[in-house]
Chains A and B, each alone.
Chain A
Amino acid sequence: GDSVTQMEGPVTLSEEAFLTINCTYTATGYPSLFWYVQYPGEGLQLLLKATKADDKGSNKGFEATYRKETTSFHLEKGSVQVSDSAVYFCALSGWAGGTSYGKLTFGQGTILTVHP
Chain B
Amino acid sequence: NAGVTQTPKFRVLKTGQSMTLLCAQDMNHEYMYWYRQDPGMGLRLIHYSVGEGTTAKGEVPDGYNVSRLKKQNFLLGLESAAPSQTSVYFCASSPGKGNQPQHFGDGTRLSIL
Contact = CB atoms under 8 A, between A and B. Distances in A.
B40 A108 contact: yes
Interface in A92-112: 93, 95, 100-104, 106-109
Nearest to B98: A102
A43 B43 contact: no
Contacts, number: 58
Contact of A103 (B58, B98, B104, B105): B58
B19 to A, nearest CB: 20
Contacts of B43: 44, 89, 104, 106
Contacts of A95: 99
A103 B45 CA distance: 8
A34 B100 CA distance: 10
Given A106-B43, A108-B42, A43 B106 contact: yes
A70 B107 CA distance: 34
B17 interface: no
**Number of chain A interface residues as a range:** 20 to 34
Contact of A49 (B4, B90, B101): B101
A10 to B, nearest CB: 11
Interface residues of B, number: 27
B25 interface: no
Given A106-B42, A107-B42, A108-B40, A100 B106 contact: no
Given A43-B90, A44-B90, A103 B33 contact: yes
A89 B41 CA distance: 11
A43 B104 contact: yes
Contacts of A51: 99
A102 B32 CA distance: 10
B31 interface: yes
Contacts of A108: 40-42
A109 B42 CA distance: 6
A46 B4 CA distance: 14
Contact of A101 (B50, B90, B101, B107): B50
Contacts of B94: 102
Contacts of B98: 102
Interface string A40-67: 0111111001010000000000000000
